[in-house]
Every structure is written in C-alpha cells, then in structure tokens.
Structure 1
Amino acid sequence: MNDNTNEKKFILAIDHGTSAMKVAIADHCGDILAFEYEDTPLYLLPNGGAEQDPDEWWSALIKATNRLLSKGLVSIDDIAAICVSSQWSGTVAVDSNGNHLMNAVIWMDSRGEPYIKKINEGIINIEGYGILNIIRWLRSTGGLPVKSGKDPIAHILFIKNERPDVYEKTFKFLEPKDYLNLRLTGEFAASFDSIMLHWVTDIRDINNIHYNNGLIKKMGVDRDKLPVLKKSIDVLGVVTKEVAQSLGVREDTKVIVGSPDLHSAIIGSGAVRDFEGHIYIGTSSWAMCHVPFKKTSISTNMASLPSAIPGRYFVANEQETAGACLKFIRDNVLFVDDESKIENPDVYQEFDKIVETVPPGSNGLIFTPWLYGERTPVEDHTVRGGLHNISLLVKRDDIIRAIFEGVAFNSRWLFELVEKFIKRKMDPVNIIGGGAQSDVWCQIYADVLNRTIRRVKDPIMANARGAALIAAVGLGLCSFDDIPNLVKYSKIFEPNPGNRDLYDKLFTEFLGLYKNNKAMHKRLNE
C-alpha cells in the first residue's frame, strides 16, 4: 500500500441503487466516515415496464452530496476523486449534448422480450436459441442475451422498435453508472464490465476486451451509438465547472470510471481472491465469486464475466427480489391505503423481533420470492411469488418469518449452482447489503446454507466501499491485493446443526414449487 501522506486520501463514493442514491466519504482504505442518501422513485408500467427519471437521480446525488459535505468532516481539498457504483443492466438514451431523451429503462424492464426473441432464435433452436447464435455468442462473450428482455441490448431494441424517434436522436446508449459519469465530466464512456450485458463484446482475451462488430450487426444496433470502453480504475476526467459548483467540490476533482453494483460490491465485501464467495441482500440479491477461468453454463444462465479488477473474471447468480419482498408486505399488507404514508423507520427492526418468536420452518409455511419474474437460476419473467401450505392456523408472524426464509431458500438455490459452476465449496461466505444488518436473517442464511456467514462491517455500505477502493487503486493509493486485509467483519454466524434436517426438507419442497407451478404462471402472466 502507498502510504504517501502528501496524497489526497478521501473519496466521494456514490452508491446508486434502485431505491436510493447513497453518497459516502471514505478514506483510501475503504473506511466509511459518513454517508447521506436520497430516495429515487421507481415507475412500474404495463407490459413489464420499469423506468426511472435520470433527472431525479441527479437531483438526489446533488442533495445527498450537499448534506454530506456540509458536515465538514473533511476539507474539499482532501477529496481526491469521485467514483460511482450504480445499478446494472439499465439503459439511458442521450443526445450529443448529454441530455436524456426519455426515462431510463432499468434492469427490471422486460418490454424488449419480443425483440430479443427474434434475435435469439434460429432455424434449429435449443431452449429458444438458434444453434449458430449460441456458438457465436458463447465464443465471443461467454454468455447469451436473456430471453426475458431485461438486458440493455433488449432495452435498445425496444426503443428502436417502439420509440424510433428516440432511437434516431440518440447519440449514445449508456448504463446508469456511465450516465452519471457523463453528468459529472461530460465524457461519454463505459467500462469493460458495465457494457457486458449488451452481449456485443469479445472477452476471450480478458486483457484485450473489445467490441465485436459482427455481433453488433447481428443485434441490428448502430455501432456509433455505443460508448468507448475503459477500465474501471481509469481516470475518466475531472468534474465540470458547473458540477463542481453544484456538488461543492474542487474543479480539479478526478472522476474514476468505476463499476456497476455487483462488481463494486464484491470488492467492498473483501472477497477479491478466486473462489471467495459473498452474498448480497438488498432490493435484489446475488451470490458471486471471482474465478480464474472463462466458462459458461447455459442451463443456469451463468457465465464468467469481466470483473472490476482488470484481467479478472467473476461469476454471479442473481434473484430479482429479496429485500423488496419485505417492502412489499410492509407497504401492501401491514400498512395499506392512507396508513402506507406513515413513516416507520423501525419496521424492519420490528420484523426481526417478530421472526425470532417463530420457530425455524415458519410452522410449515413456505414463501416463494418471485415477485417480479426471475433472471437466474431460471430465466422466467412470468413466474410469480406465493405463500404455500397456508391454513387458518397461520399467523402474521409465520408469514413474516416465511418471507425471510423464502429469500434464503432462493439464495441457496443460487449459491449451490455457483458452487457447482466452480466445482468447490465456498465456506465461509461474506454477507453484505441492507438485509445483512439483520442478525436473525444472517442466522437464517447460516442455517439454510449450512455455511459460516461473516457479516462485513457496515454491510449496507459495501457498494460505496467498493467504489472507494476501486478509486484508491486507480489513484495508486492501494492495490487490489491489499483489500482482504482492509475489509473488517462485525459478526460471525455459525450454522445451527439442529436446524439442518428441517431446512433441507423445506428446501427440497421449495425447489418443487417452481417446477410444479411453472406452467400455471406462464398461462396467467403471458
């Protein structure tokens, strides 16, 4: 680690999630001094639409930054850089002046499904993909565009087909992170990792990732509407004069290219060595680790993808709704109509207290957390959640614990497939995200996975910590090899052997629920 005390050592780390914009001040070791956040609205539309207003993102960033810097914790002269970590798999269409032309189409949006379906299919198909298409994509990208239409390339096809006026005016299509970087610097660029889900890059040589013009032509997208590519640790530029005034930072403040949320989170979790696993529990959830090889599993929608660490791959398995399930029951069951407007910041702490009063297994109640379709390990935008084995004896408390357990069961499904992919066991496992603040949820995870769970200190700040560490590496203040010694743990959770058989039994039933109800969900939701 570089201990040069003449270097500026503080980073303005931005964690742009779906529900809020968090801005933190961190030092070059990833320690968070303080943070502020501002909510960002989500607009769900008919036919699978999910959008957000980029102006509301930017307004939230400015408000949160202004409140944070007004605390006077560090001098603005000591803020060396800004680095953004943002929600992944979204699309912002901008003109040549950097103005967005419509709302951002975010990772939950599946309106591009019919258009990507046409691209995917061939004369002879396997699970909806033409054989020649499979060979072409796997050879170059290691993966395949998801059939649900939730990838950015499907967003672009949706815009091209249903908003041709916007498509024609678009100068560049940008990921959310890259859009915020544009607002900060005026530079149009993407990182090698953020562009990946467009499925138009060649990643066979991890040190020479580049666009594949043949795949771009296959997709029917104009090459010049895609941004230039850079490393996550590159200095993109400095903030514009207007931005410096709006945020309250120096005009020479550098902006590091940064990485999307998954990529930053694994850095912030400390799991940077190969095969070290981590689980994130936020609005969504995922299980992932770095791997030293390029590999693809078509049946489980998993592939080795470029990491935030230049020259490295990672593999991830994601579920669409995790903490969102608790928000759903809070807003639609416990607090409804006018009562939903009541501010109750302690509701999740109340959930923890309730869950502790219910025995493991929720008295036989099983919750399936598929509230907005699913991406992996099954790609199915029609699947929906449910409460199973409910009776007149079931109480509110059983339902709440069943939600905690159902999310953990789904994580086990993801987790076991990641272990199968890497052909080894991941134990212990680092856990991060807002859900990791719950002791009872962490213990449920330890019991359901039968793994030691290590809660990272300030788990809700893992993305911001990751962004800060990426910036620190980019500034030469530390290396990625330093990170395992920099990240600290606040508590260790060991699995309770007494719950092993029960959770194994319930997990088996959980897996059967998808298979047995798949056809019904398809009939009801297509």
Structure 2
Amino acid sequence: MSDHRKKSPLVLAVDLGTSGCKTALVALGGKGDNGEIESASVIGFEFAPVELVLPPGGGCEQRPEDWWQAFLITAERLLKKQSHYREQIVAICCSTQGEGTVCVDEKGEVLGNAILWLDMRGAPYVEKLAGGWPSVSGYGAAKLWRWIRLTGGAPALSGKDPAAHMLLIKHEHPDLYRRTHKFLNVIDYMNLRLTGRAAATSDSILTSWVTDNRDPANIRYDDGLVKMSGIEKAKLPDIVKCTDVVGMLRADVAQQLKLPQLPVVAGSIDNTASALGSGCVDFGDAHLYIGTSSWIAAHVPKKKTDVFSSVAAVPCALDDRYLMTALQSSAGSNLSYLKDRILYHEDELLREEHVPDVYKILDRIAERTEAGSGGLIYMPWLYGERVPVEDRTLRAGLFNLSLEHNRSHIIRAFFEGVALNTRWMLTPVEKFLGKKLDRITIVGGGATSNVWCSIFADTLGISVRQLDQPVQANALGSAFMAGLALNLIKRSDISERTRIRATYQPDPDRRTVMNRSFETFLELHRRLAPVYHRIRGLKK
C-alpha cells in the first residue's frame, strides 16, 4: 500500500444507482512525503445489482429493502477484503439516484415499493396541478412564475419527479397516503436506515418543488408552495445540508459491519456528487455523466432557469453556489438494452447462462466501424426525454437501416446516438452558461469506454477529459462531501486532488461526418415528434 493511503483519512462511500449499489473505500489524498499533492482515490469497491420492477402504465419501481441489503452485502464484502484499513475510516457518506419517492411510517418502516425517476404514472395529476390560464408550455403562468422565482424550476409534466409521485399516491392509493408519515427521496431513506433520522438534503428535496431556494446556504420550505403541492407539510422531512452530519451510525449497523459508530454525512443525489467527484468545482467548468441516464452539469454563481429547455441552476453540496443541471433520460441504458434485450436475450434463439464481457466487445466493434455508422442513425429515447425537450412520448429507433448495414453499424449507431442526443442538449447548456464550452470532463460507467470518449469529442466538437476512475465519480464526490463536513479538506482542494486519465480531441474528418448525422438527427425529431404524440394518444 502507498504511504499516503496508510496516512490518509478514509471514507466509506456508498453509490446507489438505478442498476445497483457500489460501496467503496476512498482515500481523501493530500500532500505526500515529497510535498506533491496525492490525488483522492478509490482503494477498493464492491457492487451488487438491484432489480427493477416495471408496473404497467409507465411505472418504474424498486424495493427499498433491496437497496439496504445490497449496501450491507457490498460493505461487508469490502470491509472483509480491506480489513487493515478499518481504523482509518472517519465517516460514511452516500450518493444515490435522485427523484425517487419512498413512503415510511412513524417507525421508519417502508410501506411499499419506491417510485423511481423513470416513473410517469403521476403525469396526469401533475399536469392538473400545474395547469392554468394563461398557459405557458403546459403550465399556468402565475404558478410557473412562482415556482421558478422561488425554486428555480417546476414540476416535470412527464411525471418523473417526487411532486408527481406523491400526487399519484394521494389520488390512487389514499390508504397508503394516509399511513405515510414521511415521504423520502432515495438518499433520505438510506440515511434513515444508517442513523434512524428522517431528513432530506437540500438537493434531494428540490424536485418536490416546495422549497425557497433563493439563498443556497438556507434552503427552506415555503408554506405557499407546500399548499400548492397538495401534500401535507407534516409528511415532508426536515432539511439538512449535504455536508451536515445527519447523525451517528446506528449501533446495530455498526456492530454488523464491525465498525465504530461513525458520523454519517448527509450526502447527496448522484448529479451533485459527480460534480464534486469530477473535480469541476469552479464556475462554468462542466462535466458530462454517462450512466443509466446522463447529464451535463456545472457550478454557477446564481439561481437561474431556462423553462423552455428544462435547464436550471439548483441547490448543491456547495452552499455558496448552484449547480446548473441538464438531464437526459437514457444514455448507458441504451447499451444495456442492446446487450440484455437484443444480443443476449434468453429465448429460443439463445439459452446461454454465461455471456462474455459484452461491453468490451461492443467497444472493439464500435472502434473498428466507420464514423457515421454507414448513414445509420439511432435515436436513444427509450423512455421519453427531458432536455432540450420535455416529452414523455418520444421513443427510440433506428433510421435508414438497409441491406448494406450489419451488426457493427448498429452497435456503432447506438454509441453515436447517445452522443448526438448529448450534442442536442449542449446547445441550451451553452446558452445558459453564456459561453461556448471548449472542454468537458466525462464520468460515469460510460466514460470507461475509450471509443465512446472519442465519439463524444468528435460529435460535440470539444476536448473530452476522461476521469482517471470515471466509474467512481460519485464515490469520490461523497468522500469529498465527508471531507468538507469534517473540515479535512477545503473546496479548493477538490480540483487539485482529481486525476485525469486522458484527453480526447475531435478528429476533423470524423467531426464533419458527425455534423451531417446531427442535422439528420434534428430533422428526425421534428418529423417524428408529432407521430409519437399521435400514437400515444396525446395532442401535439
């Protein structure tokens, strides 16, 4: 083990995403014996998958107990392998998927499945809540003005956030609503299980759209917004900062993990954590996260909203600034879909119990296939879209498929389709920031693919910096939050302790090809959006 790891404080960092739970030991880094800055690094991690539950009608759920068991499994496995580091662990901190809703009773017991950020069943209720005359993009103008002025955003008309989830429960499951003591987001539920305290972080409560966010250091409930939401205030948890110590690790959990009762730092949802883990803490320094979903985010000095493109600056882990966030619904999930539902779907054609490392093979195939995929365009809208259009009716598809194409073209088109969609999002992001980006730092599972990083550089037309441990961005961000909470690091230390593995520059020839593909991509959306609206029974 390196000297700085022997000396560095360690954080048990939990990264609970839609696909599963990763628990990591993170060294905060610092000055080495030679005076040079040692980067923060993940010493080891363990992963356990979590199953999705897909009820009819646009539902998407998970079982909170599965989250907890996945955490215990991964933490116990990790701590057993890294037992010699136990005494250096100073805190526990989680980052999780956002925009989920968990109902708990007065004893903190779960009352049913968690409704996830992909769930659209609450759309009719939030549309009714948000509507009014005169109408602006589906919102009553007065309501929209109030939401934006106080919160920086507004409930998603797609139904994909807790504002809609809670209304769905209230109207379709009134007994469950009555028995619910607190509505919690995913990070809030994990902290409840770790400490016994029910509290919301300043970023996890955002998409309930009931808080006054005009002072980033003092996020608080607004009684008028709470009343407008239709949800009783008593059912909403207290609010804490991401860098607050929410409590001490429960004795029974500490005993099971063979740890002392460590401080549990409140932590955050995933986009807040990745913003720190990417090292992009300076104003306007952007990162691109490619996981199940994707986003572009950058810290900015003021609260601001672009309602037409669904881009907003929202509360984050740093209480002297906001985080501009632009979110897209499906990114890495497109490759997962290709692998699990098409290439290795178990049916009469395939009954293999074990499959190869598919993603590495997909990388090799995509790398040897020409840019532009032979004119094949993939639209990656598996579950609607959010930025730059809020449209739950959009669906994925391949365009221009012919006898000239083979599987290699299709695979490359999947990679390029996500990159084209990201370029579509880049336009309102740059408008919001008031500048053209010349670089972006890429993190998340998708950032482990060198060929995908290159495709993003060619498609976006800017430098793409690949984080050294891109899958660990959320874990690194959680560790940085714990370091800030315990005064072990300063904000200015974060960028210094972040290591970049490689930088990818746009290739002029491939850039020209991807420019043409992007023009076709935009035209496909213009022409197909009305068709999607019609076949899904909605008015354009």
Letter in 1 for 2:460: L
Provide the rounded CA distance (Å) in 2 between the counterparts of 1:141 and 1:278: 23
Q: Does 1:225 align with 2:235?
A: yes
Letter in 1 for 2:527: N
User: Residues 189-268 of structure 1: matches in 2 within 5 Å?
Assistant: 189-250=199-260, 252-268=261-277
Letter in 2 for 1:147: L
Q: Does 1:21 align with 2:21?
A: yes
Kindly state the Cα deviation for residue 241 of structure 1 after the two structures are TM-superposed.
1.2
Kindly state the Cα deviation for residue 73 of structure 1 after the two structures are TM-superposed.
4.6
Identify the match of residue 190 of structure 2 among 163, 172, 180.
180
Summarize the Cα distance change of 1:392–1:7 in structure 2 as closer, same or farther, 3 Å threshold.
closer
Summarize the Cα distance change of 1:476–1:346 in structure 2 as closer, same or farther, 3 Å threshold.
same
Query: Which range moved further: 452-461 or 424-433?
Result: 424-433
Letter in 2 for 1:94: V
Kindly state the Cα deviation for residue 105 of structure 1 after the two structures are TM-superposed.
0.3
Q: Does 1:473 align with 2:514?
A: no
Q: Please state whether the residue corresponding to 1:33 is helix, strand or coil.
A: strand
Q: Please state whether the residue corresponding to 1:256 is helix, strand or coil.
A: strand
Provide the rounded CA distance (Å) in 1 between the counterparts of 2:21 and 2:327: 21
Letter in 2 for 1:432: V
Q: Does 1:68 align with 2:51?
A: no
Partner residue, 1:105: 115
Q: Please state whether the residue corresponding to 1:44 is helix, strand or coil.
A: coil
Q: Please state whether the residue corresponding to 1:495 is helix, strand or coil.
A: coil
Task: After superposition, give the CA deviation of every residue in 1:297-318 in whole Å (9 maximum; x if it has no partner).
Answer: 1110111101111121011111
Partner residue, 1:132: 142
User: Residues 312-391 of structure 1: matches in 2 within 5 Å?
Assistant: 312-338=321-347, 339=350, 342-391=353-402
Q: Please state whether the residue corresponding to 2:54 is helix, strand or coil.
A: strand
Identify the match of residue 288 of structure 2 among 275, 279, 290.
279
Partner residue, 1:141: 151
Kindly state the Cα deviation for residue 6 of structure 1 after the two structures are TM-superposed.
12
Letter in 2 for 1:14: V
Say how many residue pairs are matched: 523
Provide the rounded CA distance (Å) in 2 between the counterparts of 1:205 and 1:186: 28
Aligned residues of 1:265 and 1:466 also touching (Cα < 8 A): yes
Kindly state the Cα deviation for residue 248 of structure 1 after the two structures are TM-superposed.
2.7
Q: Does 1:120 align with 2:130?
A: yes
Kindly state the Cα deviation for residue 340 of structure 1 after the two structures are TM-superposed.
6.5
Provide the rounded CA distance (Å) in 2 between the counterparts of 1:341 and 1:213: 57
Summarize the Cα distance change of 1:64–1:393 in structure 2 as closer, same or farther, 3 Å threshold.
same
Query: Which range moved further: 14-23 or 140-149?
Result: 140-149
Provide the rounded CA distance (Å) in 2 between the counterparts of 1:488 and 1:326: 27
Partner residue, 2:407: 396
Identify the match of residue 55 of structure 1 among 65, 73, 77.
65
Kindly state the Cα deviation for residue 342 of structure 1 after the two structures are TM-superposed.
3.1
* Structure 2, gaps ≥5 residues long: 30-39
Q: TM-score with structure 1 length normalisation?
A: 0.97
Kindly state the Cα deviation for residue 48 of structure 1 after the two structures are TM-superposed.
0.7
Identity %: 44
The higher-RCO structure (CA 8 Å, 6+ apart) is: 1
Q: Please state whether the residue corresponding to 2:143 is helix, strand or coil.
A: helix
Summarize the Cα distance change of 1:74–1:213 in structure 2 as closer, same or farther, 3 Å threshold.
farther
Provide the rounded CA distance (Å) in 1 between the counterparts of 2:373 and 2:312: 35
Provide the rounded CA distance (Å) in 1 between the counterparts of 2:442 and 2:83: 28
Summarize the Cα distance change of 1:274–1:391 in structure 2 as closer, same or farther, 3 Å threshold.
same
Provide the rounded CA distance (Å) in 1 between the counterparts of 2:152 and 2:225: 13
Partner residue, 1:411: 422
Q: TM-score with structure 2 length normalisation?
A: 0.95
Provide the rounded CA distance (Å) in 2 between the counterparts of 1:355 and 1:7: 43
Aligned residues of 2:312 and 2:326 also touching (Cα < 8 A): no
Summarize the Cα distance change of 1:133–1:269 in structure 2 as closer, same or farther, 3 Å threshold.
same
Q: Does 1:270 align with 2:292?
A: no
* Structure 1, gaps ≥5 residues long: none
Q: Does 1:34 align with 2:68?
A: no
Identify the match of residue 78 of structure 1 among 88, 106, 110.
88
Aligned residues of 1:193 and 1:306 also touching (Cα < 8 A): yes
Kindly state the Cα deviation for residue 364 of structure 1 after the two structures are TM-superposed.
0.2
Kindly state the Cα deviation for residue 152 of structure 1 after the two structures are TM-superposed.
0.5
Letter in 2 for 1:382: T
Provide the rounded CA distance (Å) in 1 between the counterparts of 2:299 and 2:495: 13
Provide the rounded CA distance (Å) in 2 between the counterparts of 1:379 and 1:341: 39
Aligned residues of 2:147 and 2:209 also touching (Cα < 8 A): yes
Provide the rounded CA distance (Å) in 2 between the counterparts of 1:279 and 1:348: 20
Provide the rounded CA distance (Å) in 2 between the counterparts of 1:449 and 1:36: 33
Letter in 2 for 1:175: N
Aligned residues of 1:174 and 1:190 also touching (Cα < 8 A): yes
Aligned residues of 1:11 and 1:468 also touching (Cα < 8 A): yes
Q: Does 1:303 align with 2:312?
A: yes
Q: Please state whether the residue corresponding to 2:456 is helix, strand or coil.
A: helix
Provide the rounded CA distance (Å) in 1 between the counterparts of 2:518 and 2:367: 20
